[in-house]
Amino acid sequence: MEIDLLVIKKLSAQSITHDIGSFFRKHNLVEYKSPDDALNIDVFYKALGYACLYKSFGKTVNDIPAEEITLTLVRQAPPVKLFHTLTAQGLSVCESSSGIYRISGSLFPVQLIVGQKLDFDAHTWLAALMENLSLSQMKAVLQKASELASGAPSSEKSSLGTSLGKYGQTLAESALDVIIKVNPSAYANVLKEEQSMNDIIRKQFHVDELEQALIEKDKRIVERDKTIHSFERTIAEQNQLIAKLRAQLAQAGVK
């Protein structure tokens, strides 16, 4: 069985004021659900099961106390039916802030983040991982990515209030790759409307160099294929010659 979870370990001395990170304890399991993934009561309990498995993986007995574990689920739209089912089972579902729901009464504290309801300005990177970004939202994401990539002063900070610096640039590049893949239309529209931004992004994220590298790679692949084809043709010709010689030998009575 494969379990695709992100585990965030929080140091005891850290104080997180971020409205998502403030929920965290020492061991925090995060699972992202794509728009095509279901999030019903069975999936909910499966996620809790993953948390139970994680707890059991400690090096010693109770090495990972249950009270130090949280579970965060991220999805695009609110799971209305799941909320109704959880409430019917006696669990409490509370929206602590826009798009952030806290579920209490289960085996572990659960946080459910609904991307389309998040405050986009406050949670730009997470909200932008969802589909159907507007033109203005995609522009905002690209502008933030541009600021981080250029090394210019940026308002982007970690949950601890420190500057993200070079680490922030790396995170921005990774996130931007995913964001563009799930929002190709919005990205294409921005490039059509904002040619100057396109030039900036291509320069700062080394797009031209990457494209040239891909072209060179394709050329090498073509040359390799030609070499392989030529080698295979030579072998085929040699096999034909060997077969012809064997036939001549056989006719001459030579074994």
pLDDT, tens only, 127-161: 998 888 999 999 899 888 877 766 655 555 444 33
Q: How far apart are CA 42 and CA 48, in angstroms?
A: 10
Per-residue pLDDT of 44-96, as tens digits, reads: 999 999 999 999 999 999 999 999 999 999 999 999 999 999 999 999 999 99
Contact 134, 186 (CB under 8 A): yes
Q: pTM score, two decimals?
A: 0.68
Q: Which among 32, 17, 21, 200 has a CA at the least distance from the CA of 131?
A: 32
Per-residue pLDDT of 178-217, as tens digits, reads: 888 889 899 888 888 766 556 666 665 666 566 666 677 7
Q: How far apart are CA 32 and CA 177, in angstroms?
A: 16
CA distances from 196 to 46, 153, 211, 212, 247 (A): 47, 20, 19, 21, 72
